[in-house]
Chains A and B, each alone.
Chain A
C-alpha cells in the first residue's frame, strides 16, 4: 500500500515557491535544497513489533480462518478510514489549524489585545476571529472567487490563476508520484525541469516552424530532456546500485550549472547581445496557447496536465508496464523472482517520470514565463512536487487534487499577503506542515484516534 513513511525533506521548495523569487545566482543552489534523506527507498512502515494489533503475531489472521467477507463498500471505507485519503485530508486540516495559530502570532491587533486580555477579553477574541477569518477569506479571494471586484470575468480570474499554478505542480507531482509507485524517490525535479525548460526553450528560439509543428516539437524536446536527465539516475541505480536520492539531488546541481552555463554563453542559449543569463523571449509559434483569451493567464499547460493525469492513471491501473512498476515498488524481490527485470523497470519508470517533470518545465517556459529561459524557471515546483505527490498518495487523481490545492495556496498566498499583510511565508509553512503531518501518519492517527491500518 502506499502508506509508507518516506523520509521527507523538511522543507520542499524552501523560499523558492514564489513564481519570481529571483534568488541571486551565487546563492541559488545552496538555498532551497532539502537535506538529503538518509534512505529514500520508501519501505513499508514497520509496525512496532513489540505489541499492538499490527504485530506480526496477531493470530487468528493465520490458521484457516477465512477473512470475514466484506463488501466493496466496506473495503472502500476501510481504505478511507485506515488508509491514505483520510490521513491526507486530516493532514491538510491540521496544517491549516497550526497555520492559523501562526497567523495569530503575527497579527498586530491580536498581540495588542492579548496585552490587556484580563481587562477586556472580548477584544482579544474578536481580534482572533477577525485575523483568522480575514486571512482565509483573502486566501479564498486570491485563489477562487474574488468578491471585491466588478464583473464575473474579473471575479473568477483568481480561479484561472489557481489552475495556471496547478498545471506544473500536477505534472511534476505525477513524475514524482509515478517514481514513488515503483519504489523510487525522485528528488531531482528541479534539475529535470531546468533541463527540460532549457531544451524546450532552445527549440523554441532556434527553430523556425509553424505553430502546429513548432510547439509540439518544443514540448517534445523538453519531455525528452527531462526523461533523459531522470533516466540517467534510474540507469545508474539499475546498473551500479547508486542510490537515486543521492544521484537525483546531485543531478540538480549539475543541471543547474549546465543550464546556467548555457544561458551565459552567446551562441548557446543567451539572448543575443545581452549580458544577462537569460534567453530570448519565446516566439508566438512555440507558446502554449491561452485557453481563455489574452485577458487570462491560463494556458494550455493545464490541459497538458489533465491529459497526463489520464495517461498516468491508465499506465498504473490498466497497463502491463504499470503493473510491473507497482510490483517492483511494493516488493522488488517478488517481482524479480517472477521474472520482472527490476533494473530495467527502474530505468523505464525514471524515463517516464522525468518526461512528466520535464513537461512541468516546458509548461513554465512556454506557458507561464514566456519572456525567456532562466535558471529560476522551476520556481520551487521541483520540490513542491514531492509534497504534492505525497499528499496525493502517489495516485493520479490524488495528485490532481493535491496539485489544485497547492495551486490555490500559491495563488491565494499573494493576495493574503497583499490584503492582510500576512507574510507570504505562512503559506509555505502550511505546505511544509502538510508534509510533516503526512510523513507521520501515526501522529495524525493519534491526534484523531483513528484505528491503526492493518495494511499500514
Chain B
C-alpha cells in the first residue's frame, strides 16, 4: 500500500499555501513532515484529509487517484488523522467517542455500544494501549486521550495515520510512549505521516524526512542529519540553535514570592503555597505540562487574578492587591502566553499596539491627546530595532505573521525601564528565525540585571534560557533545580514525581 501526493497546490486567494508538493508514504514507514509554523504542513494534511480541496495535483492510493470531497471519503479510503486538538467529546466514554460518526446500530436505530466496546478492547490489547472503553474521556490524562484518538482512527481500518503535531500537549514521558506506539503501528504495517517542527522528535522516529518551507518542498533529509542541518533547511539559512549566553551574575533577590495561592471564580485552586525567589540578573524557568498553574502564576504577578493570597514582593514592594496598571508602573514587563488574546489588539496598528500599556501619560500622551509624532518616531525605531517585517508602522497587528506579532509585543515590553520581565511562552507559534531573536533579547535583558520569570511548555526553551528551573505540577512546586538537570529528571518532575536529592 502506498499513498502518494502528487503536485498538490492549494491557494487561498493570492496566497499559495502549498506549491506543487509531492510526497510518498509507504506501508510500514514513518514519514516526517518538517516545517515551521505556517510553512503549509497543516494545509497539506487538510487536503489529504479531505477538509480542503486541492487546486491542482492529485492524491493516489496504490496508484489509483482518490476523489475526496470530505473527511468521510478520506476515512473510507483508510486515511485517519490524529488532530493536534483532540476531536473528542469530553463527557462521552471512550467507546462512545470511538463509535461517534460510525455508529453501529441494531433494531430501530438502537446503538450497539457493545460492539464499540469490543472494538476498543481489541485494538487496545493489540497495541498494549491499556484504555478502558467505559472511562469518561475528560477524566483521562492527555496522553491517554490521544490514544483514544488513535483507536478511533484505527477502528475505521486506517492504513495511513496522520499525526498533526502530536507531542505539543504531552510530557516528555508521554512523548516517549507515543513514539513507542508509533513504532508499533509501523511494525503492524501502518503508514504514518508525522507532522512536527521539533527536530529532535523527528530525528528520533522518522524513516524519511521531508522539509517544507513557505508552502514548497525544499528538500528531503535522512534521520541521521544533524539538528543544525535540518534547521537550516527549515528556515533557509544557518540558525543558531543553542542560545549563546554567559553564566548569570545573580545579584540580590529581586522578586520574592511567598506562599502564593490563587483560586478562580469557581473555587478551583490553581496555585497552592508557591514560594520562590528570583535574583536580579537571573532567569528562572518555570517548567511543567500546560495547565499546571503556570498561566495563573504569571497572571497573579501581573494583578490579573482576583483571588490571590500570599505575597509577591518586587524590590521590597508588595504587588499583591495592586491594579495591573500599578504593577506595570512598578516596572514589570509582561509577554503574555497568548499574544492574540492578551498581547495585541489585532485591529490596531503596530504603532498603536506599541503604546498599548502607556496610554495614560508621557511619553506618548500629553493633555489627553496622543502625540502622533513621538509615537510614530518611536514605532519606526522599534520596527527596525526588532526587525519586524511589516509594510509599515500603520499596518494592523492582525496582518502580521505570528513571529512578527510576537516581536511587537516583545518590543513594547522591553522598551520600558524594567525591574522584572515576565515572559510566558515567548516563542509559541513563532518561526525559528524569530525564536533566535527573542531568545537573545531575553538573555540581554537578564544581562542588564533584570530578573526574568520565564514560563514555557517547551522544555528545550526552558533548558536553553534558564539559570534555574522550577517545576510546577498541579499548582505546586515539585522542586527548583539547576539548569543542567538531566531531561529525564525534569520529565519525571513534570509528571509530579520528586526524584531523590531534589528539594522542593
To the question of whether A and B form a pair in one complex, the answer is yes
Question: In the complex where A60-B40, A331-B345, A337-B302 touch, is A451 in contact with B369 (Cβ < 8 A)?
Answer: no
Residues of chain A from 33 to 51 with CB closer than 8 A to chain B in the complex: 44, 50-51
Residues of A within 8 A of B433 (CB): 64
Residues of B within 8 A of A59 (CB): 15, 17-18, 38-43, 215
**What 0/1 readout, one digit per residue, does chain B (355-367) give for beta carbons within 8 Å of chain A?**
1110110001100
Judging by beta carbons under 8 Å apart, are A318 and B370 in contact? yes
Binds B, one of A67-75, A134-142, A297-305, A427-435: A67-75
User: Complex: how many Å from CA A3 to CA B336?
Assistant: 26
Judge whether A129 is part of the interface by a CB distance below 8 angstroms: no
Q: Which residue of B lies closest to A60 (CB)?
A: B15
Residues of B within 8 A of A61 (CB): 15, 38, 401
Residues of A within 8 A of B389 (CB): 64, 66-67
Residues of chain A from 61 to 110 with CB closer than 8 A to chain B in the complex: 61-70, 72, 75
Candidate in A62, A330, A335 with the most chain B CB atoms within 10 angstroms: A62
Q: Which residue of A lies closest to B326 (CB)?
A: A339
Q: Which residue of A lies closest to B390 (CB)?
A: A67
Residues of A within 8 A of B323 (CB): 339, 341
Judging by beta carbons under 8 Å apart, are B391 and A64 in contact? no
Judge whether A1 is part of the interface by a CB distance below 8 angstroms: yes
User: Complex: how many Å from CA A70 to CA B396?
Assistant: 12
Judging by beta carbons under 8 Å apart, are A327 and B345 in contact? yes
Residues of B within 8 A of A236 (CB): none
User: Complex: how many Å from CA A372 to CA B240?
Assistant: 78
Judge whether B109 is part of the interface by a CB distance below 8 angstroms: no
Residues of chain B from 212 to 239 with CB closer than 8 A to chain A in the complex: 213-215, 235
Judging by beta carbons under 8 Å apart, are A67 and B400 in contact? yes
Judge whether B258 is part of the interface by a CB distance below 8 angstroms: no
Judge whether B395 is part of the interface by a CB distance below 8 angstroms: yes
Residues of B within 8 A of A44 (CB): 346
User: Complex: how many Å from CA A61 to CA B51?
Assistant: 19
Judge whether A212 is part of the interface by a CB distance below 8 angstroms: no
Chain A residues bordering chain B, tally (CB within 8 A)? 45
Residues of chain A from 356 to 386 with CB closer than 8 A to chain B in the complex: none
**What 0/1 readout, one digit per residue, does chain A (310-349) give for beta carbons within 8 Å of chain B?**
0000000011110110110011011111111100000000
Judging by beta carbons under 8 Å apart, are B15 and A66 in contact? no
Judging by beta carbons under 8 Å apart, are A338 and B357 in contact? yes
User: Complex: how many Å from CA A339 to CA B371?
Assistant: 19
Residues of A within 8 A of B345 (CB): 326-327, 330-331, 334-335
At the interface, is chain A mostly helix, strand, loop or mixed?
Answer: loop
Judge whether B398 is part of the interface by a CB distance below 8 angstroms: yes
User: Complex: how many Å from CA A58 to CA B345?
Assistant: 20
Judging by beta carbons under 8 Å apart, are B429 and A62 in contact? yes
Candidate in B327, B368, B433 with the most chain A CB atoms within 10 angstroms: B368
Judge whether A455 is part of the interface by a CB distance below 8 angstroms: yes
Residues of B within 8 A of A338 (CB): 324, 328, 356-357, 359
Q: Which residue of B lies closest to A338 (CB)?
A: B357
Q: Taking the nearest CB of chain A, how far is it from the CB of B234, in angstroms?
A: 10
Candidate in A62, A63, A324, A336 with the most chain B CB atoms within 10 angstroms: A63
Question: In the complex where A53-B12, A335-B356, A338-B356 touch, is A327 in contact with B348 (Cβ < 8 A)?
Answer: yes
Q: Which of B16, B304, B329, B370 is within 8 Å of A60, CB to CB?
A: B16
User: Complex: how many Å from CA A75 to CA B343?
Assistant: 24
Q: Taking the nearest CB of chain A, how far is it from the CB of B403, in angstroms?
A: 6
Judging by beta carbons under 8 Å apart, are A330 and B347 in contact? yes
Judge whether A133 is part of the interface by a CB distance below 8 angstroms: no
User: Complex: how many Å from CA A112 to CA B34?
Assistant: 72
Residues of B within 8 A of A454 (CB): 399
Judging by beta carbons under 8 Å apart, are A60 and B38 in contact? yes
Judge whether A274 is part of the interface by a CB distance below 8 angstroms: no
Judging by beta carbons under 8 Å apart, are B347 and A334 in contact? no
Judge whether A276 is part of the interface by a CB distance below 8 angstroms: no
Candidate in B37, B344, B345 with the most chain A CB atoms within 10 angstroms: B345
Judge whether A266 is part of the interface by a CB distance below 8 angstroms: no
Residues of chain A from 441 to 456 with CB closer than 8 A to chain B in the complex: 451, 454-455
Residues of B within 8 A of A451 (CB): 13
User: Complex: how many Å from CA A193 to CA B429?
Assistant: 49
Residues of A within 8 A of B13 (CB): 53, 451
Q: Which residue of A lies closest to B299 (CB)?
A: A337
Q: Taking the nearest CB of chain B, how far is it from the CB of A320, in angstroms?
A: 4
Judge whether B108 is part of the interface by a CB distance below 8 angstroms: no
Q: Which residue of A lies closest to B341 (CB)?
A: A333
Q: Taking the nearest CB of chain B, how far is it from the CB of A105, in angstroms?
A: 40
Judge whether A147 is part of the interface by a CB distance below 8 angstroms: no
Judge whether A57 is part of the interface by a CB distance below 8 angstroms: yes
Q: Taking the nearest CB of chain B, how far is it from the CB of A314, in angstroms?
A: 8
Q: Which of B39, B215, B352, B357 is within 8 Å of A339, CB to CB?
A: B357
Judge whether B431 is part of the interface by a CB distance below 8 angstroms: yes
Q: Which of A50, A70, A72, A320 is within 8 Å of B369, CB to CB?
A: A320
Q: Taking the nearest CB of chain B, how far is it from the CB of A335, in angstroms?
A: 7
Residues of A within 8 A of B395 (CB): 67
Residues of B within 8 A of A69 (CB): 391
Q: Which residue of B lies closest to A69 (CB)?
A: B391
User: Complex: how many Å from CA A335 to CA B325?
Assistant: 10
Question: In the complex where A60-B15, A330-B345, A336-B324 touch, is A67 in contact with B40 (Cβ < 8 A)?
Answer: no
**What 0/1 readout, one digit per residue, does chain B (301-345) give for beta carbons within 8 Å of chain A?**
010100000000000000000011101110000101000011111
Judge whether B155 is part of the interface by a CB distance below 8 angstroms: no
User: Complex: how many Å from CA A88 to CA B429?
Assistant: 36
Judge whether B434 is part of the interface by a CB distance below 8 angstroms: yes
Residues of A within 8 A of B52 (CB): 51
User: Complex: how many Å from CA A427 to CA B415?
Assistant: 55
Judging by beta carbons under 8 Å apart, are A337 and B36 in contact? no
Judging by beta carbons under 8 Å apart, are A339 and B328 in contact? yes
Between-chain CB contacts (< 8 Å), 30 pairs: A51-B51, A52-B12, A53-B13, A57-B43, A59-B40, A60-B16, A62-B431, A63-B38, A64-B235, A64-B389, A64-B433, A66-B390, A67-B389, A67-B401, A69-B391, A75-B394, A318-B370, A320-B365, A321-B368, A323-B355, A327-B356, A330-B346, A331-B341, A331-B345, A334-B343, A336-B324, A337-B336, A338-B324, A338-B359, A455-B398
Instruction: Given contact pairs A63-B431, A337-B334, A340-B356, enumerate 7 new A-B contacts (beta carbons under 8 Å).
Output: A58-B17, A59-B39, A61-B38, A62-B431, A72-B394, A335-B345, A338-B324
8 tightest A-B CB contacts, nearest first: A62-B38, A66-B389, A339-B325, A338-B357, A63-B38, A53-B12, A320-B365, A337-B342
Contact residues of A with B, CB < 8 Å? 1-2, 44, 50-53, 57-70, 72, 75, 318-321, 323-324, 326-327, 330-331, 333-341, 451, 454-455
